[in-house]
Amino acid sequence: MSRLGEEAKPPTNGHFRIGSNIKTFTSTVMLQLVAEGRIGLDEPAVDYLPEFGLDRRITVRMLLQHTSGVFNFTGEYYEDGTVMPGIPWQGQEWVDNRFKTYRPEELVRLALSKPVRFEPGTDWSYSNTNYVLARLLIEKVTGSSLAEEMQRLILL
């Protein structure tokens, strides 16, 4: 433990939020699993994750490329200026709920309860939901956590 302005070595068992950097690791693990023949990039994501009832046109590749059209669970901003909110990520509502933990399945179900942004494969829009689905797909196929697969395929 240190005090502001004092020097201290970071703990070796410390934790920090990786944020969107996890997307690079997730896509790398996914591509490694493709190379192993365990996942097909052009296969429908619903074949791996039937419990969500995804549109059959959404492929694994579309999840990684943000071309699935799936709603972004943090909300969508449209060209006409309208906003469709998702989970709070700023302002007082975020402050009031900043310690709430969302399960990946909860985020996917929230996103799938909202209208799609566009038909799968017809456009591009950044959607955090795509990478939550990619994580769940990796975990389903491997039977391991994403962290374990990152360790096995990238970090060793």
Q: Which residues are known catalytic residues?
A: 20
CA-based nearest residue to 137, from 126, 145, 127, 128 = 145
**Alpha-carbon 123 to chain mean position:** 19
Quote the CA–CA distance of 27 and 62 in Å, as a whole number.
12
Nearby residues of 22 by Cβ (< 8 Å), 6 or more positions away: 131
Going by C-beta distance under 8 Å and a sequence separation of 6 or more, which residues neighbour residue 68? 45, 58, 62, 120, 121, 127, 130, 133
Cα–Cα–Cα angle for 43, 119, 107, rounded to 5 degrees:
75
Residue of 32, 36, 58, 31 lying closest to 47 (CA atoms): 58
Strand partners, 48: none
